[in-house]
Amino acid sequence: MSHSPKAAIEALEAKFQILKKVEFRDETTLTVEAGRISDICRFCRDELGFSYLLDISGLDNFGTEPRYEVVYELYQMERGEWLRLKAPVSEDHLEIATVSDIWPAADWHEREAYDMFGIRFTNHPDLRRILMWDGYPFFPLRKDFPLGGKPSDMPDVAFSSAAPLEGGPFVTVPTTATTKDREPRSRSTL
- Pairing verdict, β 27-32 and 18-24: antiparallel
CB atoms within 10 A of CB 118: 16
Q: Each residue's pLDDT tens digit in the chain (190 positions)?
A: 345 688 999 999 999 999 999 998 888 899 999 999 999 999 999 999 999 999 999 999 999 999 999 999 999 999 999 999 999 999 999 999 999 999 999 999 999 999 999 999 999 999 999 998 888 888 999 998 887 766 766 655 555 555 555 555 555 556 676 655 655 555 454 4
Residue 105's contacts (CB-CB under 8 Å, 6 or more residues apart) are 53
Residue-level pLDDT at 1? 38
Burial degree of 55 (CB within 10 A; 0-12, 13-18, 19+): middle
Looking at the structure, give the CATH architecture of the domain made up of residues 6-140. 2-Layer Sandwich (3.30)
CB atoms within 10 A of CB 57: 16
Instruction: State which amino acid sits at residue 2.
Output: S
At residue 31, the 3 state secondary structure works out as strand
Map out the domains of the chain as residue ranges: 6-140
